[in-house]
Amino acid sequence: MSQLFAGLGSSVHSDTAVAVAAAVAQARTTLHGHTPSVAFVTATVEHDAQQVFAALVAALPGVAVHGITTSLGLLGPSGVINGPDGVVGVLLLAGGKGVRVAVGASAVGADPKAAARKAAQELLAQSGGELPRVVLFNSSPGPEEALLSALAELLPGVPAFGGSAADHAIAGEWSVFTSTGPLKEAVSLVGIFGAVAVGGAIRAPYAPTARQGQVTASTGRTLKELDGRPAGEVLNEWLDGAVSEQLRDGGNILAQTALRPLGIKCQTAAGAHWLTIHPAHIHAPDGSVSLFACAEPGQTLSVMSGSVSGLTAVLGELCTESLERAGLSPEQVRVGILIYCAGCAGAIGAELDTGLREQLARRLGSAPLLGMCTFGEQGYVPGFGNCHQDLSVSLLLIG
């Protein structure tokens, strides 16, 4: 029997300290007396991150802290949890005989790779150099590709699943929770070591269309030109004029592109994998486009197509795939982490609540499942490795 134990609690109380205490108390009840070593916390930005952290360490002295702010609400088999004053969720993790749970974290400055190395080294220092079976990866949005690249050096072959910190308005109000407090720009890792079964999958439920072009100028996550023309002009044509106003005046294009993002085709040993990219903003007058992932010169970008039904059906598909990869029956699952892109959640609205209840509740047992809406998703793709992409959903099950 698995020696990983988990307990989950949540609260929509308006007072942050009360909400955290209530969530912790609820989580403790399903931990069945095991002492937690890590508290994975998430909250919407209605709650001040410093107050969340302070209440958490008061309730759980000596317990390592990990987590991110979530956009829109907390997700689980009962649906979307949120209140007028936001929501707090706490997942407590404990390892019994032969299982260890540890945390490593670092602020991210000008050198994200150095930050990732620091966080990974902190993790490995607690395990005597033993590699974790899986890493729960969470960071601020922006440097995810560089962070994962560095992690691959120190944690070769270790699958990483997670999501990027988020707020509601894409206003930079997100936080990454670490044992030293909440940070705006940071990476935090939870390593789970020892005798556990792990199964995870990441999917972007979109299909490529015939519309595509080559990146001819870009810098990081700023797409400047497609096929030698201003990227915004080309994108507007691909979207049949849906972002004409933003092309003229500049503006946010998240809603218009949530079901029609861009994708980069990657070949893996198991076939093609599409890295989906969410165009976020068109800048006037130069027509450059801000993205939530990197697109390099020379890469081909294709317009992808998705649907509301696809974005809910993917929940059931992920349950099946993750259970199969872990070799677990639903009753054997000890904990689950669900990462759902905030852009997708915003696009499908109330259907998400229905989808969660219909697709998760009947497929999974009663194991604690912590779900968050994020501004970037990371997951392990067999034959490809750990990747960062947008408009994606991932489910990690551990038993």
Partner 1 sequence: MASRIYRIVKYVEDHFSSFAVSRLIMLSGVKVRKYTRDSSDDPQDFAKVWRAVQELAKTHSQLDELTHLINDQ
Q: Which residues bind partner 1 (CB under 8 A)?
A: 12, 44, 46, 71-73, 80, 82-84, 168-171, 252, 254-255, 342, 345-346, 349-350, 353
Peptide bond between residue 61 and the one before it cis (omega within 30 degrees of 0): no
Exposure class string for 151-178: b at 16+ Cβ within 10 A, else e: bbebbeebbbbbbbbbbbebeebbbbbb
CB 312 within 8 A of CB 345: no
Report residue 379 as tokens. 């997951």
Q: How far is the CB of 373 from partner 1 (least distance, A)?
A: 9
CB 262 within 8 A of CB 301: yes
Q: Which is nearer to partner 1, 74 or 90 (CB)?
A: 74
Q: Which is nearer to partner 1, 222 or 252 (CB)?
A: 252
Quick check: helix, strand or coil at residue 285? coil
Q: Which is nearer to partner 1, 15 or 237 (CB)?
A: 15
Measured between its terminal Cα atoms, the distance across the chain in Å is 9
Q: How far is the CB of 11 from partner 1 (least distance, A)?
A: 13
Q: Which is nearer to partner 1, 11 or 82 (CB)?
A: 82
Q: How far is the CB of 349 from partner 1 (least distance, A)?
A: 6
Q: How far is the CB of 74 from partner 1 (least distance, A)?
A: 10
Report residue 121 as tokens. 């080294």
Q: Which is nearer to partner 1, 78 or 212 (CB)?
A: 78
Q: What is the dihedral of CA 154, 198, 38, 85, to 10 degrees?
A: 110
256 phi/psi in degrees, rounded to 5: -70, -20
CB 308 within 8 A of CB 348: yes
CA angle, residues 116, 119, 122, in degrees to nearest 5: 145
Q: Which is nearer to partner 1, 83 or 220 (CB)?
A: 83
Quick check: helix, strand or coil at residue 377? strand
